[in-house]
Amino acid sequence: MVRQLGAVDRRRRALRPLYLHKGLTLTAVLYAGFVVLCAVGLRQWWRMRDAPEEAAGTREPASVGAR
């Protein structure tokens, strides 16, 4: 399964420059924006994962049914 996903990823990376070459500017811009959003989200997730619990703003979960 991992090998198959790698092949799909290689094909997608190869298609990115073709979007511009074929005149699909909007598609190329949207794809680039999606990649940027993914990178920003991954970076934020890494920071939250590596931060101590006190700094991350976590607290004890509320009890179910507590009033």
Q: 24: buried, middle or exposed (CB in 10 Å: 19+, 13-18, 0-12)?
A: middle
pLDDT given at position 39: 93
> How far is 5 from 27, CA to CA, in rounded Å?
22
φ, ψ (nearest 5 deg) of residue 60: -65, 140
pTM given for the model = 0.53
pLDDT given at position 3: 58
pLDDT given at position 58: 58
pLDDT given at position 34: 92
What is the tens place of the pLDDT at every residue in 6-60?
Answer: 666 666 676 677 788 888 899 888 988 998 999 999 999 999 988 876 655 556 6
